[in-house]
Amino acid sequence: MIECNQNPPLVQDLAQLLNQSRDPVDIKRLMNHEPGLEEWELPLVDLCGLSSENEEERVSCASEICKASSELGFFQIVNHGISLDLLRNMRKEQVKLFKVPFEQKTSSGLLDNSYRWGNRTATCPKQLSWCEAFHVPLSKISDHTCYGEFNSLREVMQEYANAMQELAKSIAGVLVANMGAQRGGWEDNCNASTCFMRLNRYPPCPISPELFGLVPHTDSDFLTILHQDEHVGGLQLMKDSKWVAVKPNPDALVVNIGDLFQAWSNDVYKSVEHKVMVNQEVERHSIAYFLCPSYEAFIGCYDEENSIYKRFTFGEYRSQIQKDVKASGHKVGLPRFLVST
C-alpha cells in the first residue's frame, strides 16, 4: 500500500496552476478526456546479431538499428547482454527508494540532492509533469555519501550504470559506422563523468487520465536507453503527426535517438517527441540512461560542409533550452541552432 506521505504534493501543485491559469481549455481537457490510444509495438531488434560470427547477420542487425533510428527514432532491443537479475534488482531498489517519506527525499541529500517532482517552471496544468524522479549524474553514483541508509542501492546502481554505458556505446558505434564516419563525437566525451541516470516514479493520478506523467519533449542527449515498467503502459510518441501509445514489452529495453545524434547525423537519425500519460489507479516506474557528452564538448555534423545546424557545445545547447523553458514554458531545441536562423 502506498503511504500518504510518500507522494510529492502534486495535487496542490495542480490546484495552484489551475487557479493561476484560469484557462477554460485546460479545465475542459482535464474533465473531458479522449479514450485511450490503441497500443502499438515498437520495432524489435535482436542484438544477438551484432556479435554473430555470420557477417550477414551482423550487417542485418546493424541495418535494423539504423532503419528504426532514421524512420521512427525509437526501437526496442532484446538479447542486449544485461541480465534479468540486474534489471530486477535495480527495479527493486528503485521501488524501495521511492517509498521513503517525501520530506526525506527532499532534504536528506539522497543521490547528490537530485530529487525533483512536478515542474517548478510550470505556469499552467499542461506544463505539469505528474511524477517524481532522481536525476543522477553518473559521476556521483560511486560516492557512498549519496546513499544514506540505502547501502544496497549503491552496488546495484554502479553495476547497472556500467552495463548501460557499454550497451549505449555499442549502439552508438553502429549508428556512427552507418554514416561512414570514423568518429561520432561521443567517444572521448561521453563517459561515467558526463552521463546521467533518471529514476522515475509516476504516482497514481485520480484526477484525470489526461494529465501528463512527463510533458511532451525530445531528449537532449545522443541516445537514451529506457527500462520501462514491465506491465503498466503510459509512454507515447509522435508518429506520422499523431500520438501512438507504446505497448510495454517485459523482455525488452527501449532505445530512442536524442537531439545530439540528430544534429550530428544532419537529420538522418530522428529525435522524436514523446511523453508519458498518467494512470489513475496504479503507479508506474521507469529508469532512463542518457548518453551525454561533457558540457564543453562541441557537437558538429559528421558532414560539416553540408550541415544544416550550427556547431555548438552541449553546454550552450542546455543553456538555450533553459532560457526557452523559462520564457515560454516549452523547449525549442534544435531549431534554435539551424544555420538558416
CB 3 within 8 A of CB 100: no
Higher pLDDT, 94 or 22: 94
Say whether pLDDT at 36 is over 80: no
Q: Please report the pLDDT score of residue 86 as a whole number.
A: 98
Cell of 117: 517532482
Say whether pLDDT at 176 is over 60: yes
Q: Per-domain residue ranges for the chain?
A: 36-336
Q: Are strands 242-246 and 39-40 parallel, antiparallel or unpaired?
A: parallel
Q: How many residues does the chain have?
A: 341
Higher pLDDT, 34 or 102: 102
Planar angle of CA 314, 126, 259, nearest 5 degrees: 20
CB 174 within 8 A of CB 204: no
Tell me the whole-structure pTM to 2 decimals.
0.93
How many CB atoms are located within 10 Å of the residue 74 CB?
A: 24
Class of domain 36-336: mainly beta
Distance CA 332, CA 256 (A): 19
Note the pLDDT tens digit of each residue in 252-278: 999 999 999 999 999 999 999 999 999
Q: Please report the pLDDT score of residue 24 as a whole number.
A: 58
28 pLDDT band, cuts 50/70/90, is low
Q: Please report the pLDDT score of residue 2 as a whole number.
A: 45
